[in-house]
């Protein structure tokens, strides 16, 4: 995963353009992608697909022709979606187009202006402070023209058509944690799920933030009803603890699964309530859709000073952190995929487990084993209203033990879905 | 308000009689009142309007003719609703008609006997202790005769016919906090509400306790369905912290508003559950009506030793305390009056706020502002099930910010009631 | 009760056989019993009544003919439901039929093998350790043959046909707390209830564990709908604090009653959630029946080391502990039996209690008495949705005071069921 992040890091991504395409090309080497190109001007829900933005070069050069700010050094140096400019101006005039972080004078901020025509440069405060007054050459060699918005899907087919969507944004330039780590975890999660046929169909979305999710939602109206659960992956690689942000519904199955898996894992973690700010859960959880989609991050949105700055670089993400995020995703989806609500088919009194080989024939001992308790709990709570996850939580037993008990009872014809 | 309390203090009020009429005359100088006179014998719910009680003089005089207990000194000295008496008797015989407070020997208690014919005097224990044995002349020049029960209403018309009732009892004699302070706050609250047309119609009731509220309820059967919220004001002027007693329903909108406003104000305060004892919330919240009526006091019923004694005098109430009670009432009614449940008219995905001038065009910064968050929260929760107060509480934002966001979104056609 | 326990202690009980019959004969001296005999082979729910087991003698004798393990010394020495055996074998061969408690070397464990043909002996580890190698004579003079399963009922008729069941298991051999103490408390509870006609009909079941309860449920299908509440009594005599295990529903009336009574009593106690392990609440609370049946014990199932060992002897139970368990049962059933949901027949405003002699005629005092508050609370909450127990808990008043208020109000025609 870290190698994938390294390859993607230098590319200049935005909500449209060749940087996104190059990104998807590379991700496609890991998992096959179905790439969609949606023309500029397409109406998508309340929005319109904007013109496509591409950039070849950009710089600020001093009177000696020396590039004091250079896009070639980092894609962050240009305000995203900058209109083209070619001019010479005094520093005093240039200043209102320059974005810095006075509190972190060595870092370059990440800024955009997608929907208002604007141009600008982002640079370190200390770089700015070192610039002498005088004339500067300013050049942004970009194009804003009718084109397309690009996003991709990868589907892991399951045994049922009901879907789980996993979404990550692919629009940020050279920011490693936000969201190259999320992209990498998503790609490897897809590969892991494909190793055996899952119950649900898992759909992975690699799309630009906001407008990409909105475009997908607009073009998949008939599919929305099949989306049972979802997870937005972002900030998946920093060294902080995991944070799960619940869906707007707060009690969706994905919420309960993540709460259970994180708690059972013993990892330090946080579970937070939904807020209408963050990543594309904003769109999936908008009140018209209100899908059961949560968001898993390590340190969440804006929770670390490096957020949306050049300090979110390759050193900021750790291979072990990405591996940990992936492991929790796999554990969570294993529970989600196996969770089912059974019905006890012999609900009047306990069925005689002993003659079915499911009960210890020697009576009187006080050490009821976990497996035996799991059988009794599944029988007790399988009234059509409790899922296996409910049983595990109520019984204080591992989900795996409860699922194994359900398997044994189903084999014996004692419970059914 | 304090000046009003001072004027009302000397009057001898009871549940009927000229003291109530004189009180309403004075209140009427502040807010116009519609005065109702309900004849003795009128059936009101389970009760009957009693005979009217009036009193001109009352005293206990010693053998030397010196008045040792004198109604002219304080209206508290006579047991409320005392039947007339004119007799001479020994102190030993008189004692069973005398009420004192042994634990507070300098204070005169307040006692009544509305529904059992009785006569009596209330006096300080130390006064009683100083009386020598011997003969005393006892005189109560009162009348109990067919007449009327008197109560008054003041209405602040709103934009809708739905009503908020504000009720205060006007039957207590010379007790400043209980309830001249409540009367004064109610009168000034009515004046403040009339300064601009409120949403709801606000109906202020100035009525004797219990029988007055019951009479109003009996005579307004057709109006009850229009009563949406209500507040009983009592003990509104002592120096203690505010206490809000919730309606019987406990989750009525008035309960939520007062809890929110008191908590948001940072004031020390208490919120207590409903009990079927106290003031006229007993009637409004009886199970047949079960109205959303709470009660706001400072130190509540029986919570201070001066309660129902001569120590509840003009010194016991403070102008600043009454001003504080009034301020909270105004804040609460501002929220109640503005609270509305909106519906997001563009609920699929977020609407594009930027092209409506409602979103910061410069992206990437991590400092989402309160106003912007308020817009997103209103959009997220406006599904027809959350009021603006719900939004404010869920979002942890000031109600005013949420209401302003709703205004902006309504202006943009994005939400509607 | 202790005398009854002493008489029952030596008998060898199992889930069938003459030991159960002898036990019921003795209990029948205290409360008349209706004894049921259900033939071997009868299908009962998912189970089948097994063959009847009886035993006359059993021992292990050494080469000198000395009985080193002897059923005559304690019924625990034989594995319950042992098939007959008569053999001579070396200790090494015998060992796999011997059950001990290495952690408690002086105690004899209690073990059974009801549904798999097996034979065995239970003995102290220290007895086993002292046995020299060599040949042993092994004899179990038992019979397993078609016969009957025996259980008994005692009914205390009430004013309504709705039933409360009290169940205790009678299948354990010489174990005093589990469950001779439960049998004794049940018998004396039945006698106490019969002293006056209760509201509910109380049905006491004395039946072998699991198969007995299942048999009763299978043969009483038409009665189940009349079972309103129930309590399983076990481990009723040890010196530990009381534990109430709630029904599967968790909010059944019996659960609320026991929680209330135990809390109000001031006794140290524990209330635990339902688990599908324990005594016959497992059957009554199986999801098809899901009856409101809880379980009252002192130290619960497997919560004490003496559990299911020879150390659960006559010294382990205390007369005072049994008396305490009985007292709580009586208190609980007094509340359960009296609990009713009333409706205020004068719900609009407060009814005028004073003219009905239910209200203090002297007004103004601040010391509202408990009896008066109970009247007001019953009136306030009697809306058809709150039982007297709800009123008591909401008001923080003793159940008895609330019930007395309901009686007074019912006499005055102000509330009705």
User: Which residue on chain B is closest to C343 by alpha carbon?
Assistant: B287
The whole-number pLDDT of residue C367 equals: 63
Split at pLDDT 50, 70, 90, the class of B78 is very high
What is the H or E stretch that residue B3 is in?
helix B2-8
Mutate to test the interface with A, among B361, B363, B396 (most CBs of A within 10 A): B363
Kindly report, residue by residue over A231-272, the tens digit of the pLDDT.
999 999 999 999 999 999 999 999 999 999 999 999 999 999
DSSP string, B58-71: EEEE-TTS-EEEET
Q: Which CATH class is domain B341-416?
A: mainly alpha
The whole-number pLDDT of residue C366 equals: 65
The whole-number pLDDT of residue A367 equals: 62
Kindly report, residue by residue over B190-239, the tens digit of the pLDDT.
999 999 999 999 999 999 999 999 999 999 999 999 999 999 999 999 99
In this structure, are residues C4 and C313 in contact, taking their beta carbons and an 8 Å threshold? no
Kindly report, residue by residue over A309-366, the tens digit of the pLDDT.
999 999 999 999 999 999 999 999 999 999 999 999 999 999 999 999 998 877 777 6
Rounded CA separation B388/B378 (Å): 7
pLDDT at B243 over 70: yes
In this structure, are residues C9 and C26 in contact, taking their beta carbons and an 8 Å threshold? no
Hey, which residues does B150 pair with through a beta bridge?
A: B37
**CA of B268 vs chain A CAs: smallest distance (Å):** 28
pLDDT at C70 over 90: yes
The whole-number pLDDT of residue B368 equals: 64
Q: Does A109 touch chain B (CB under 8 A)?
A: yes
Rounded CA separation C73/C138 (Å): 16
Rounded CA separation B297/B243 (Å): 5
The whole-number pLDDT of residue B366 equals: 65
Mutate to test the interface with C, among A342, A346, A348, A349 (most CBs of C within 10 A): A349
Split at pLDDT 50, 70, 90, the class of C368 is low
Q: How distant, in Å, are the alpha carbons of A409, C152, C234, C283 from that of C278? A: 21, 21, 10, 10
pLDDT at A405 over 70: yes
Residue A128: helix, strand or coil by DSSP? helix
Chains interfacing with B (3 or more CB pairs < 8 Å): A, C
CB contact under 8 A, C350 and B286: yes
Tell me the average pLDDT of chain C. Answer: 97
Partners of residue C344 in chain B, C-beta under 8 Å: 287-288
The whole-number pLDDT of residue C302 equals: 82
Same topology between domain C52-145 and domain C341-416: no
Who among A349, A364, A381 is closest to C283 (CB)?
A: A349
Name the DSSP class of B350.
-
Tell me the average pLDDT of chain A. Answer: 97
The whole-number pLDDT of residue B362 equals: 78
Distance of CA C67 to the CA centre of its chain: 36
The whole-number pLDDT of residue B369 equals: 86
What is the H or E stretch that residue A388 is in?
helix A388-395
The whole-number pLDDT of residue B67 equals: 97
Partners of residue A383 in chain C, C-beta under 8 Å: 287, 290
CB contact under 8 A, B277 and C362: no
Q: Does B301 touch chain C (CB under 8 A)?
A: yes
What is the H or E stretch that residue C261 is in?
helix C253-265
The whole-number pLDDT of residue B389 equals: 98
Kindly report, residue by residue over A41-73, the tens digit of the pLDDT.
999 999 999 999 999 999 999 999 999 999 999
Rounded CA separation B327/B333 (Å): 10
Q: Residue range B325-345: average pLDDT?
A: 98
The CATH code that applies to domain B2-50+148-338 is: 3.40.630.10
What number is the ipTM of this complex? 0.95
Partners of residue A248 in chain B, C-beta under 8 Å: 380
pLDDT at C364 over 90: no
The pair of three-digit structure tokens given for residue B99, joined into one six-digit string: 């009420």
Rounded CA separation A400/A386 (Å): 16
In this structure, are residues A58 and A139 in contact, taking their beta carbons and an 8 Å threshold? yes
Q: Residue range B245-252: average pLDDT?
A: 98
Who among A115, A217, A308 is closest to B361 (CB)?
A: A115
Identify the CA nearest to C237 among candidates C145, C164, C304. C304
Residue C12: helix, strand or coil by DSSP? coil
Rounded CA separation B186/B181 (Å): 9
Q: Does B382 touch chain A (CB under 8 A)?
A: yes
Rounded CA separation A311/A318 (Å): 14
Q: Any alpha helices (H) in B90-239, and if so which ranges?
A: 91-94, 125-130, 181-193, 211-219, 221-224
Q: Residue range A82-105: average pLDDT?
A: 97
pLDDT above 90 covers a percentage of chain A that reads: 96
Rounded CA separation B308/B174 (Å): 10
Judge residue A221's burial from the number of C-beta atoms within 10 Å of its C-beta, 0-12 exposed, 13-18 middle, 19 or more buried.
exposed
Q: Residue range B298-319: average pLDDT?
A: 95
pLDDT at C357 over 80: yes
The pair of three-digit structure tokens given for residue A405, joined into one six-digit string: 């008990």
Half-sphere exposure of residue A225: CA atoms within 13 angstroms, side-chain side: 2
Mutate to test the interface with C, among A356, A357, A364, A380 (most CBs of C within 10 A): A364
The CATH code that applies to domain A54-145 is: 3.50.30.90
In this structure, are residues A42 and A49 in contact, taking their beta carbons and an 8 Å threshold? yes
Judge residue C130's burial from the number of C-beta atoms within 10 Å of its C-beta, 0-12 exposed, 13-18 middle, 19 or more buried.
exposed
Partners of residue A377 in chain C, C-beta under 8 Å: 275-276
Q: Does A365 touch chain C (CB under 8 A)?
A: yes
Identify the CA nearest to C310 among candidates C136, C81, C125. C125
**Packing angle of the helix pair B18-27, B181-193 (nearest 10 deg):** 40
Other residues' Cβ atoms within 10 Å of the Cβ of residue B126? 12
The whole-number pLDDT of residue A368 equals: 64
Kindly report, residue by residue over A138-197, the tens digit of the pLDDT.
999 999 999 999 999 999 999 999 999 999 999 999 999 999 999 999 999 999 999 999
CB contact under 8 A, B217 and C348: yes
A93-128: b or e for each residue (b if 16 or more CB lie within 10 Å)?
Answer: ebeebbbbbeebeebbbbbbbbbeebbbbbbbbebb
In this structure, are residues C15 and C50 in contact, taking their beta carbons and an 8 Å threshold? yes
- The mean-pLDDT minimum among A220-224, B106-110, C254-258, C331-335 falls in A220-224
In this structure, are residues A377 and A391 in contact, taking their beta carbons and an 8 Å threshold? yes
Tell me the average pLDDT of chain B. Answer: 97
In this structure, are residues B211 and B349 in contact, taking their beta carbons and an 8 Å threshold? no
B-C contacts (CB, under 8 Å): 86
Hey, which residues does C266 pair with through a beta bridge?
A: none
Rounded CA separation A406/B304 (Å): 63
The pair of three-digit structure tokens given for residue A135, joined into one six-digit string: 């004339």
Other residues' Cβ atoms within 10 Å of the Cβ of residue A72? 10
Other residues' Cβ atoms within 10 Å of the Cβ of residue A23? 22
Q: Does C362 touch chain B (CB under 8 A)?
A: yes
In this structure, are residues A274 and A281 in contact, taking their beta carbons and an 8 Å threshold? yes
Identify the CA nearest to C59 among candidates C123, C130, C16, C129. C123
Split at pLDDT 50, 70, 90, the class of B365 is confident
CB contact under 8 A, A47 and B349: yes
Give the residue extent of every domain in chain C: 2-50+148-338, 52-145, 341-416
Q: In what order do the strands lie in the sheet with A135-145?
A: A67-70, A52-61, A135-145, A85-90
Other residues' Cβ atoms within 10 Å of the Cβ of residue B337? 19
Reported in sequence order, the residue ranges of A246-321 that DSSP labels E, i.e. its strands, are 269-272, 293-297
Q: Does C287 touch chain A (CB under 8 A)?
A: yes
User: Which residue on chain B is closest to A287 by alpha carbon?
Assistant: B347
Rounded CA separation C117/A196 (Å): 44
The CATH code that applies to domain C52-145 is: 3.50.30.90
User: What topology does CATH give the domain B53-145?
Assistant: Glucose Oxidase; domain 1 (3.50.30)
Rounded CA separation B180/B193 (Å): 20
The whole-number pLDDT of residue A409 equals: 97
CB contact under 8 A, B365 and A286: no
């Amino acid at each position: 995963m870290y190698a994938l992040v390294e390859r993607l890091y230098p590319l200049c991504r935005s909500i449209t353009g060749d940087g996104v395409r190059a990104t998807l090309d590379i991700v496609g080497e890991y998992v096959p992608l179905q790439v969609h190109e949606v023309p500029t001007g397409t109406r998508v829900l309340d929005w319109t697909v904007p013109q496509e933005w591409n950039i070849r070069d950009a710089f600020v050069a001093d009177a000696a022709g020396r590039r004091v700010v250079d896009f070639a050094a980092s894609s962050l140096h240009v305000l995203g979606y900058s209109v083209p400019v070619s001019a010479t101006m005094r520093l005093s005039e240039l200043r209102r187009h320059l974005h810095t972080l006075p509190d972190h004078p060595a870092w370059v901020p990440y800024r955009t202006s997608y929907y208002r025509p604007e141009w600008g440069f982002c640079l370190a405060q200390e770089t700015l402070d070192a610039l002498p007054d005088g004339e500067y050459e300013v050049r942004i060699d970009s194009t804003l023209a009718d084109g397309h918005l690009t996003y991709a899907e990868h589907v892991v087919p399951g045994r049922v058509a009901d879907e789980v969507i996993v979404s990550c944004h692919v629009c940020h330039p050279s920011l490693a944690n936000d969201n190259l780590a999320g992209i990498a975890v998503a790609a490897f999660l897809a590969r892991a799920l494909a190793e055996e046929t899952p119950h649900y169909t898992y759909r992975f979305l690699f799309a630009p933030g906001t407008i990409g999710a909105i475009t997908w939602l607009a073009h998949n109206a008939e599919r929305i009803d099949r989306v049972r659960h979802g997870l937005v992956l972002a900030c998946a690689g920093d060294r902080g603890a995991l944070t799960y942000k619940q869906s707007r519904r707060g009690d969706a199955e994905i919420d309960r699964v993540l709460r259970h898996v994180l708690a059972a894992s013993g990892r330090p973690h946080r579970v937070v309530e939904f807020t209408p700010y963050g990543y594309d859960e904003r769109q999936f959880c908008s009140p018209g859709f209100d899908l059961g989609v949560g968001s898993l991050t390590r340190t969440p949105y804006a929770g670390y000073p490096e957020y949306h700055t050049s300090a979110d670089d390759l050193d900021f993400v750790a291979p072990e952190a990405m591996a940990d995020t992936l492991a929790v995703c796999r554990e969570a989806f294993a529970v989600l995929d196996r969770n089912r609500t059974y019905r006890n088919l012999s609900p009047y009194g306990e069925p005689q487990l002993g003659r079915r080989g499911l009960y210890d024939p020697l009576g009187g001992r006080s050490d009821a084993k976990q497996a035996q308790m799991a059988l009794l709990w599944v029988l007790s709570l399988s009234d059509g209203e409790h899922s296996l996850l409910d049983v595990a939580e109520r019984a204080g037993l591992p989900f795996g033990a409860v699922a194994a008990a359900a398997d044994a009872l189903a084999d014996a014809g004692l419970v059914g879905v």
